[in-house]
Structures are given as C-alpha cells and as structure tokens.
Structure 1
Amino acid sequence: MADRGGPPAAAPLPGDWPARPDLSLALNRMGGFDWDLGSGLLHLDPVALGLLDLRPEEYDGDPAGLAPRVPLFEAARLKALAARALKGGTATGGAYFRVRRRDGSLRWTYTQAHIRHDPTGRPLRIIGIVRDARHELAEAAARSDLDAGRGRLTGVVERTAALLSRAASVEDVLDVLRDEEAFGHLGAVGVVLGVVEGARIRLVAERRAGAYVPALQYTRVADAYPMSEAVRTERPLFITSRDEFRSSYPLLWPHIEPLPVSAGAYFPLIAQARPIGVLGLLYPRPGDIGHEQRDLLLAMASGIAQSLQRAMLFEQEHDLAEELQQAMLPRRIPEVPGALTAVRYRSARLGRSVGGDWYDVLPLPGGRVGLTIGDVQGHDTDAAVVMGQLRMALWAYTSEGHPPETALARASLLLRELDTERFATCTYVEADLSSGTLRIVRAGHLDPLVRRVDGGCEWIPVAGGLPLGLSAEFTGPGGPGYPVTTQRLGPGETLLLCTDGLVEQPGIDLGESLEALRQSVRTGPAALPALADALFDAVEDRTGGDDRALLLLRRDGPS
C-alpha cells in the first residue's frame, strides 16, 4: 500500500528555472542602460528603446538622439539631478520623468541608476534601469497637470530655448530677456543680466520693476553684491527675504528697499568653465525656491550662457573680419580735378561673415580717372583678402598705363594664379574728364547707370566678359578678353557704379529691383553725398545677406 502520510511527489522544474535577470527585467518591462562618461556614449538595450518608443535604427548611442522622446524640460531636470549626484559623490539615485510617444502623448517612466567610480573616486559610468511607471504615478501625473506653476516654468524654459537657438548677436540674447511670453510667467518682478568684463560686471539688460539702477551699471566682481558673489563662487545664490537683502548686502539694500522685492535668485552664466555673466531674478514674495524650480532655472541659465558666449564670439570674429575688410578698402578717396565723387560701403552683419565688395578711384595721367567697383565671391575673411589683392593689382596695372581691357584681363589671370577657387565680378571705367569720354569694361558685373542733366536716367548697356578668374580658366591668357564700350558723360551728369547688394533681394525679380534703383536715382537729391545716403537708406531694412558698395562720379568739367 502507498504511504498516505508522505509528501506528494515533486513536479519537475522548468528547464530555464530560475529565470535569468535579463528575462525577469524584460518580462516586467524594465530596460537597462550603460552611460560611459568618458566617451559620452549611452547604450540602451532593446527593452529600454521600446520604453522610449525608439527603433534600434533611430538611435546610435549619442544621448542627443533622445531629444525627440524626452521633452526639453524633463531632460533639463534629469541633467541637473545627474550633475548634483556626480558632484556630491552619490552612488545611487532615481527619478520619474515623462516620455513623449510617437503619437504626441506623454507617458511616465522611472529610472534607477548606480554610479561607478574608479579607485580615486572619479565617476566612470552610470548603469541603471528604465521602467514603465504609468500606473503608479496616475495620482502624481494628475497633480502635475494641475500644477500651473510648473507648467508655466517649463513653458518658459522651452520658449527661451527656442528663442536662444535663433540668437545670432548679443542684442538677440537680450531680446529674449525682454520677451514677455518667455519671461512673463516666471513670477519675477525683475530680471537683470550682467556681463563679466575683466574684474567688473556690466549691467546690460533689465526688465520690469525698475530693477536697473544707473549707479549699479558697473560693479566689481570683488564687491559685496549678490551678482558679484554668484560670479566669484560660480554657484547659484538664493535670497529668501528682505531681511537677508538688508543684512547680507548693505550696498544693494538702498536700491532694493523701495522695490516690491522680497526674494532673489542669481545664476552665474558659465561657458567653457569660466563665468561670462550673471542672471538675476527678483521675486515679490519671500520664501525659498523649490528644487524643481531651481533645476529649471539652472537649465535656462545654462542655455543663456551658451547663447551669450556664442553671440559674443560671433560679434568679436565679425568685428575682426570687418576691420580686415575695411583695411583692404581705400583709406581715402582722392580729389579728382573736374569731378565730384561719393562712395558708400556697408557690411551685412551676419554673424562672423563679411563680404568682398570694393570700390576705388584711381587718378591717371592726362586728366583721366579710373573707377572700379567689384565683388569677390563668398562671405568670409578669404573674400576680404582676395578683394584687397585684386584692388591693388588693378591699381598697379592702370598706374603702369595699361588700357582698361588689358588691366581687367591681367587681374583675371592673377586671380586664377592665386589658386583661391574664387571668382570676382568687376566693372572698370576709364573717364576722360576733359572730353567726357568713358571707356568701360565689365566682368560679369552690373552695368553702370547715368543720370542726365535733363532728368533722364538710364542703364548703359556694356558688352561684358566672364567674371575675373573664370575668364582665365575657360579662355586662357591668349583667349578672348574684355570688349570696351565707349560712352560720353556730359557736364553735370552723374555716373553710378554699385554692387548687387544694392539691388538684389530674396523673392524680388532683379529687373524690378534695377528699375526701382533707376527711379530712386532719377528722383534723388541733387547733391552727391545726399544722393548716396538716400540710396543706402532706401534699402536699409531689406532682408538678405550681401554687402553693399556704391561709387558716384559727377563730371563738372567743360564739354
């Protein structure tokens, strides 16, 4: 008989028992990641990619590839948490964050991580898991949706980031601070921005509540001001009461006392490991700023710092390039017996770009004068250098007595021999001021324009050749050169030479622009300098990225 009191026979165990850790994680929708701090690469396993709604082919290990799935305000908060953990030597940590799915919906996710250090304590890797947290955070999600304050702050960060991404100058960055949609929801009654200049801080912008005080436009980094302290320590500074303003910063207190200010937050603007400025926010109510709000403000300050540094570098580089370009232009225009001249030049400020436009007036023997205007291809310092070389070459060739067609052909060959891969357009006019005879050659440039004494105004059709550099490439030194067109300029008549920056603009037919310029010259002021100013002022607000150069000559000699 069977032993009825014995235990039942044990069932056979599954062949894969116990389950492997990766199987346990996968079945419970837990993915893994490994972030190598040295290389910056972030590995995500298939489950983690699925939780982030990313396909394997959409992600190459660069954390920047997560931008479509991790909203900006969540990324800023996670970045701040990671930085705080790394700086404080924390070994483990976790955080909830939201993921934007392909359909645009937001889904709560949780991450838990461990920081691995080398024997010296330097952090090497962050290894952890990511899991679905939709159900456990239903109540927290509802509370977050009702938290209008947080929504406003995240909106500020997102809008600020969008505006800063388009900032191309320091003034553009300052305009972000003045943007009501970006900063109007911060709850601050004052926003101030200071730029570090050596051992002092210069206040460059303020908005609201009279936060700007002329006496504080320049302060020293060593002074006992909160902005100075934030720069010295390179750490954010939070002031939570009026008493703290009064006791800790007596130099500032007389300026704060009449304002509706009871708290303040000051953030150093750090770029390339050094403070370049400081952002100050003044609040009407006392109290501490929560960690989440601090993290968002830190992220915003970081974006302002990067944009401010980029804009400052762009402006410095542009100024240097523009100085080089100006040095390549004539330092003065010589007086020409028998004629009046006027020149104008304006660089289109586009970051670090400059152009290769130039003009020149060259006195020649026998009462003659050479007039040159041209434009080297490109918008950089190379274009400015090539422009200077061409201008001096034409000056040398004409001074040696070469006729216009020969001078232009030699300049074209020179440009080809410089091996710059650039070409240039140019119009050269040799004017005999005693007879009014004009001998004109053109290399791919605009025709000259003449205003007659009877009120007429017309473009002079000039037989042209290829741009300088291209003519030497396609025809060689013995090939076709530049045909000469002969015209006459009567007493009191005005000759206009210009570059295409004065007429071309995006979306407008060139013929319409040329006709508009002709009408402006025809009806413009009689005085030459006033006419030059009027022509430039008429196109001041045009969009487009080209420089503008203008040369006017009026013959005053006998017919």
Structure 2
Amino acid sequence: MADRGPKRPTVSVPDDWPAHPDLTLALNGMGGFDWDLDSGLMHMDPPALEVFDMPPAEYDNRPETLGCRVPPTESARLDAVVAAALKDGSHSYGAYFRIRLRDGGLRWTHTQGSIRRDESGRPRRIIGVVRDASDEYTQAAERVAVDEERRRHTSVVERTTAALAHARTVRDVIAVLADEQGLSRLGAENVILGLVEAGRIRLVSEGKAGSFVPDHELTRVGDEFPMSEVVRTLTPRYLRSRAEFARDYPDLWPAIEPLDVGSAAYLPLIAQGRPIGVIGLFYRRESEFRDQERNVLVALGSSIAQSLARAMLYDQEHDLAAGLQQAMLPRRIPGVPDAQVAVRYRSARLGRDIGGDWYDVIPLPNGRVAAVVGDVQGHDTQAAALMGQLRIVLRAYAAEGHAPATVMARASAFLNELDTDRFATCVYVDADLSTGAARFVRAGHIDPLLRHSEGICRRLPVAGGLPLGISSEFKRLDYPVTTIHLAAGDTLVLCTDGLVEQPGADLDDGLRQLAREVREGPQDVQQLAERLCESAAERSGEDDMALLLLRRLGAPEHDIAGRFRQHIAPADPQGLSAARHMIRAAVRAWGARERSEEIELVADELITNALLHTDGEAVVNIRMPHSVQRRLRLEVEDNSSSLPRRREPGEAGVSGRGLLLVDRLADVWGVEPRGGGKCVWCEFNCP
C-alpha cells in the first residue's frame, strides 16, 4: 500500500485572523464536499479532490466519477454505511475506506458527513469532509505491531515459566529449555546451560547435537568468555552480530564461526543474591536487542534461575535420601544353598523419592532361611529411618531362632515402643529348603504368590494379623502361622503394594495382573525380577516398591503336574478355610474342574476328622501326576496311630459316617501307618 499523502497547498501566512475555514482545512489535508441528494450532484472543493488524487478538470460533480478511485469492495462498504445512516434517521456518519491512487497504490481515507433533513425528516443534503488517514493507519499498525511484540514476549516468559513449574530436577529443567519444543517457546536456535561450581562454570547442556564447543565444558569464572563475564559482573551480555562476536571474543570465535549463529544473549542466573549458573540463547538472525526484548530476557532469566535453584536443592535432597535408603537396605543378599534369590527396590515418584519399603534374606539355624518384605507408612526420611531400625530388629529376632509368630510379635512391640504414629505391614517366611516346608506370618500385608515349576501361579491366602505397631497397641500379638510346601522349582513372590497398586484400580485386580505376569515370565528369578519392575514402571503408580523372589532349586518331579502341601493347626478355622480355598484353586488349575467339588468335600471330611480325633496338626498333600490316566491323590496325615473305621448307616451313633462319604466319592482310598501317626489317602480319576 502506498504511504503517500496529499500535497499540502503552498500558501503564505494569511493576514487576516482568524484564518478562513477553507484555508484551515486545506492546510491540514482535508477537503469539503456538498452532496445534493435530490439532484445527485456532489460538489467537491480542490483539497477534497486532492485527497482522491483526481485533477479538478476530470471531475464533473457526479459521484460516479469517483468510482475509478474507490475499489469495488471499499465502495460497497461505504455505500452500506451511508445508506444505513440515511435510513435510520441518523444526522451524521463516519467511515474509513481506501482509495486507489493514479500510480496504483492504496491510501487510507476517512470521511465524515452531516445529513441535512427537511421538516418531514427526509434527507436532502450531505455536507461533510474527507481527509487523508494514511498517517493514522500507519500509527495504528505500528501500535498493533508493538502490542503483538509485547504479547509475544510476555507469552515466552509465561509459557516457559508454566513448563518449568513441572520440572523437579536439573535434568528436567534442561529438558524444558533445550528440546525442540523448548527452543520453539524461546524462539532460539540453540540453548546452553552452565552451573557455577567452586569458581568454575560446568557446562551441563550444550544444546543441539553438533553445537558443542570443544574444550569448554569446564571454564573458570575469570576466563575471557561471555559465560564467565556475566557470572563475574552479574549483568547480561548481548552480542548483536557475528562481527561483534568475532571482535569481542577472538579466542571463542573459531569455535562459533561454523555454527549458524547471528546473535546471542548470555543471562546470569541469580538466586538468593548469588550466581548459580548462566544460560546462553543463540539466534539465527542478527538482533539489536532493544529495551523491551532485554527486559523480557531478564525476566526469563529470573524465572529460569528460580526453577534451577529449586531443582538443584531437590537433587541434593534426593542424593541424601537415596544414600540413606541404600544405607538402610541390606548391602548384599547372602547366598542361600538350594535356592535362587532376586531382590529389587524402586523409589517412589512423589515426596523425596524415598520410602519405607524393604526386603531382607536372613540365614537361620539348622540350615533354614527367612525372607521378609515390609512397608513402613510414609514417603520421607522418617519412614526410611524407621524401616532401617525395624529391619535390623526383625533380623536380630529371626537370627536368634525364634518362631515366625514370635518374631512378628516382638517386632510389633518394638515399633510401638518407638513412640511413633507410623505403622508397618510385613510378610515373613521361615523356609526349610531341604524339605520344602515354609511357615508364613503376615501382618496387614498383601498375600504372597507362588509359581509352581509347571508354570501355574496362584495367590497364597496366608492367615494374617494386624500391622506392626497397631497389633501391640491393641494387645493382639497372636499371629497365625500358615505352612506351605515348596516343591523343587517353585518360586515364591513377596512384594509390597507399590508393585500391584494402580490409581483407580482394585488391589485384587493388581494381584491377578501380577500373577499373570509371573506365570508368563522367565524361569530365571533375576530376569523375572527385571520383567516385573519394567512392567510396574509402565504403570502410573506413585508408591515405592520392594520385591523378593525365592526359587527352590532341585530337579522338579516331571511326572507331577502339580503338588500342594499345607499344615493346619488345631482350632484354626482360618487355616481350614485357607486350605479349602487352595485345594479348590489347585484342583481347577490342574484341569480337574469336573471333580473339584467332590475332592474338596472329601478333603474337608478327612481334615476335620484328623483335627477332631487327634491332638496335633493335620498335614494335607495333593498331587496330580502326568500320565495317560490322570489320577489325583489326596493325603491327610496326623500324629495318631488309631486307624479310622467305616460304619454303615444302620449302626448306632454318627461317628465314622464320614468315611462312608469318602468311600462313595473317591475311586479308591486307604490308610497307611506313617511313623508315629497315619495317613488317610484317596485317589480320583481326572480324565
């Protein structure tokens, strides 16, 4: 668009005062018109024709003649404004429109008209002025450009500050600033970041690949480099052109010259009155860095400095917390004969990335081994400190040879004596790997899992008590013991809820998902542990996690599809219920679903008889062999040598009727002496 205004008339200073209105209008680039609406003629004075860039000789007092100067779109818009004013009874109107000059350029013009009406309100004449408005348009455009530039600069600070609000570590800050999205926000070609450490500046981010300046990863504050200069002076340094770069920093220029850099801004990062770093912003274009842009860059540097200071403090606290966590966990896991052990710990994503989860493996007298996984409430250094104390105390009680229930009760009493409002959950197992007998105690913790050598993975419903600390507070220190048989090749999975919890999901669903992952995972416990941790990392859980895998070694009995063994103490209804549940789950997992109810009913009868008629515990064994004719074998052992006797319905009394049920449901059954006791067994054909 042409920016040419009308020629101002050359006149001498008038003698009369005040000046005539025509002279006033002419001197200010304005002209008048008088439009007779009845005749359609429009008189325009010479200054008005000057605005339209039309010679007086070419104008015939007809508005249509001006059509060659007004583009069609502008003419239609102006006609609509005038028509609306005439129709709605207005006494005046005003409008901006463009005219086309004789050289083809466009000029913004403004017209103001006063509508003269008769007594009836009918419009008769329009008397008005027209003036060159190109200067107004230019100034308005400049104001819009300035406002747009101000909004753009403000947006840079706001968007960068918003992105930095989510950065917790120095690495996060670097990611916000130096990735493609960060460079786009900053409008820069590249960004470098250095941290001040003991009189030196360590470059922690060199930005885009290929932009690294060799031998400048570590520079002294006293060196003659722009980063060093802004740290010394605490003042930004702006390099407006490549020539200025080469002139002021000749030692650095050979490394900068090959890069696509036209200008640069180095900003000191100041927090609590001291420099903690420096950021360099590189631009492809040359820039004058006017006052407004410099103010924006200073504000941007302040925002980055605050985020960086917060991130550095977080990293220091994280390093301290991580060191404390590692000090509290066992430095090494002892070798366990006849077993493979794998342990893992993953820190939390909230708080200070530290928690109260722990694991431990404890050698016990007589060749046994204990494994424990626990979780102290909270995600802070206090939780980690309590965890360390509790782990050491529990390890000491176990090493003294106490029974599992006693170990748990004493650990609970110890936690209560610490006078803390924290509690802890825990699962503890005492395993004799030579025989496979494993005794479990659970204090408010999630159930462990057991994967059999043939691949079946099931949840072990271990009887439980109150969490540690709470049980002592309520004087309920009796922890039930659940005994399970670990066959050769079986893998025990102990973990904290951080491995299975998912936001918005039920804990049981998480345990079922974990069981599937264990079942489908590799046999090697180290590989399986890695697989489970990778899977947990993909979920959005924000709790810490401890994991312990223990696999009993030895050649598995390949002719056995599955094996189940459990000890049931007298007067333990929970143990009996757990046995029923596991029998049902095992039988169905082995493909004997059609006879599961019969097997469960017979097992319940034999277990009940053993508990009622003997003074000791009952031991339940179930085996499913691999063979053409699959026959499940159920055995119930007790310490009584008295053999059971089957009675017929007609005999007096009710005792002994259970064996009649066993005889009717089982395909074959019998009784065998076993040392000081006996074993009642039965078999079921499971096609």
What's the TM-score once normalised by structure 2's chain length?
Answer: 0.58
Aligned-partner SS, 2:538 = coil
Shift of the alpha carbon at 1:395?
Answer: 0.9
Would the aligned equivalents of 1:433 and 1:557 in 2 still touch at CA under 8 Å?
Answer: no
Would the aligned equivalents of 2:409 and 2:477 in 1 still touch at CA under 8 Å?
Answer: no
Q: How do 1:369-380 and structure 2 match up within 5 A?
A: 369-380=369-380
Counterpart among 521, 524, 536 of residue 533 in structure 2: 536
Shift of the alpha carbon at 1:204?
Answer: 2.1
What residue is the counterpart of 1:149 in the other structure?
149
Unaligned runs of at least 5 residues, structure 1? 1-137
- In 1, the alpha carbon distance for the partners of 2:217 and 2:381 equals 35
Aligned-partner SS, 1:331 = coil
What residue is the counterpart of 1:43 in the other structure?
none
What residue is the counterpart of 1:511 in the other structure?
508
- Structure 1 stretch 164-173 or stretch 284-293: which is displaced more? 284-293
CA change 1:330–1:287 in 2 (3 A) is closer
Q: How do 1:520-535 and structure 2 match up within 5 A?
A: 520-535=517-532
Would the aligned equivalents of 2:167 and 2:311 in 1 still touch at CA under 8 Å?
Answer: yes
What residue is the counterpart of 1:431 in the other structure?
431
Shift of the alpha carbon at 1:225?
Answer: 0.7
Would the aligned equivalents of 1:200 and 1:220 in 2 still touch at CA under 8 Å?
Answer: yes
What residue is the counterpart of 1:495 in the other structure?
492
Shift of the alpha carbon at 1:428?
Answer: 0.4
Q: How do 1:152-163 and structure 2 match up within 5 A?
A: 152-163=152-163
What residue is the counterpart of 1:364 in the other structure?
364
- In 1, the alpha carbon distance for the partners of 2:553 and 2:209 equals 61
Q: How do 1:185-224 and structure 2 match up within 5 A?
A: 186-207=186-207, 210-224=210-224
What's the TM-score once normalised by structure 1's chain length?
Answer: 0.71
Would the aligned equivalents of 1:355 and 1:384 in 2 still touch at CA under 8 Å?
Answer: yes
Q: Which amino acid aligns with 1:146?
A: A
Q: Deviations over 1:474-507 (max 9, x none)?
A: x22xx35211111111111111101111111212
Q: Deviations over 1:220-277 (max 9, x none)?
A: 2221110111111111111223232122211210012122323221110011111111
Shift of the alpha carbon at 1:532?
Answer: 1.1
Would the aligned equivalents of 1:156 and 1:182 in 2 still touch at CA under 8 Å?
Answer: no
- In 2, the alpha carbon distance for the partners of 1:541 and 1:140 equals 57
Q: Which amino acid aligns with 1:355?
A: G
- Structure 1 stretch 220-229 or stretch 208-217: which is displaced more? 208-217
CA change 1:558–1:261 in 2 (3 A) is closer
What residue is the counterpart of 2:657 in the other structure?
none
What residue is the counterpart of 1:252 in the other structure?
252
Would the aligned equivalents of 2:227 and 2:278 in 1 still touch at CA under 8 Å?
Answer: yes
Identity across aligned pairs (percent)?
59
Counterpart among 548, 553, 558 of residue 550 in structure 2: 553
Would the aligned equivalents of 2:489 and 2:555 in 1 still touch at CA under 8 Å?
Answer: no
Would the aligned equivalents of 1:448 and 1:497 in 2 still touch at CA under 8 Å?
Answer: yes
Aligned-partner SS, 2:366 = coil
Shift of the alpha carbon at 1:509?
Answer: 2.6
CA change 1:318–1:187 in 2 (3 A) is closer
Shift of the alpha carbon at 1:185?
Answer: 5.4
Shift of the alpha carbon at 1:288?
Answer: 2.6
Alignment of 1:386 with 2:383, yes or no, is: no
CA change 1:286–1:301 in 2 (3 A) is same
Would the aligned equivalents of 2:183 and 2:190 in 1 still touch at CA under 8 Å?
Answer: no
What residue is the counterpart of 1:420 in the other structure?
420
Shift of the alpha carbon at 1:210?
Answer: 4.7
- In 1, the alpha carbon distance for the partners of 2:337 and 2:460 equals 24
Would the aligned equivalents of 2:405 and 2:480 in 1 still touch at CA under 8 Å?
Answer: yes
What residue is the counterpart of 2:7 in the other structure?
none
Shift of the alpha carbon at 1:544?
Answer: 2.5
CA change 1:366–1:242 in 2 (3 A) is same
Q: How do 1:219-368 and structure 2 match up within 5 A?
A: 219-350=219-350, 352-368=352-368
Counterpart among 479, 484, 507 of residue 482 in structure 1: 479
Aligned-partner SS, 2:244 = helix
- In 2, the alpha carbon distance for the partners of 1:280 and 1:357 equals 43
Over the aligned positions, Cα root-mean-square deviation in angstroms equals 2.1
Aligned-partner SS, 2:193 = strand
Shift of the alpha carbon at 1:441?
Answer: 0.5
Shift of the alpha carbon at 1:355?
Answer: 0.6
Aligned-partner SS, 1:467 = coil
What residue is the counterpart of 1:445 in the other structure?
445
Aligned length: 419
Q: Which amino acid aligns with 2:453?
A: V
Aligned-partner SS, 2:419 = coil
Would the aligned equivalents of 1:236 and 1:268 in 2 still touch at CA under 8 Å?
Answer: yes
- In 2, the alpha carbon distance for the partners of 1:423 and 1:480 equals 14
- In 2, the alpha carbon distance for the partners of 1:485 and 1:357 equals 23
Shift of the alpha carbon at 1:212?
Answer: 2.8
Would the aligned equivalents of 1:191 and 1:211 in 2 still touch at CA under 8 Å?
Answer: no
Would the aligned equivalents of 2:329 and 2:388 in 1 still touch at CA under 8 Å?
Answer: yes
- In 2, the alpha carbon distance for the partners of 1:251 and 1:271 equals 30
- In 2, the alpha carbon distance for the partners of 1:283 and 1:307 equals 23
Q: Which amino acid aligns with 1:522?
A: R
- In 2, the alpha carbon distance for the partners of 1:185 and 1:431 equals 60
CA change 1:144–1:502 in 2 (3 A) is farther
CA change 1:283–1:338 in 2 (3 A) is closer
Shift of the alpha carbon at 1:447?
Answer: 0.8
Would the aligned equivalents of 2:160 and 2:185 in 1 still touch at CA under 8 Å?
Answer: no
- In 1, the alpha carbon distance for the partners of 2:321 and 2:209 equals 40
Aligned-partner SS, 2:292 = helix
Would the aligned equivalents of 1:347 and 1:354 in 2 still touch at CA under 8 Å?
Answer: yes
Q: Which amino acid aligns with 2:445?
A: H
- In 2, the alpha carbon distance for the partners of 1:211 and 1:173 equals 19
Shift of the alpha carbon at 1:556?
Answer: 2.0
Would the aligned equivalents of 1:153 and 1:186 in 2 still touch at CA under 8 Å?
Answer: no
Would the aligned equivalents of 2:357 and 2:496 in 1 still touch at CA under 8 Å?
Answer: yes
- In 1, the alpha carbon distance for the partners of 2:458 and 2:540 equals 26
- In 2, the alpha carbon distance for the partners of 1:486 and 1:209 equals 60
- In 2, the alpha carbon distance for the partners of 1:185 and 1:500 equals 40
Aligned-partner SS, 1:202 = strand
Q: Which amino acid aligns with 1:382?
A: Q
- Structure 1 stretch 210-219 or stretch 495-504: which is displaced more? 210-219
Would the aligned equivalents of 1:261 and 1:284 in 2 still touch at CA under 8 Å?
Answer: yes
- In 2, the alpha carbon distance for the partners of 1:158 and 1:150 equals 12
Would the aligned equivalents of 1:315 and 1:352 in 2 still touch at CA under 8 Å?
Answer: no
- In 1, the alpha carbon distance for the partners of 2:175 and 2:201 equals 19
- In 2, the alpha carbon distance for the partners of 1:192 and 1:182 equals 12
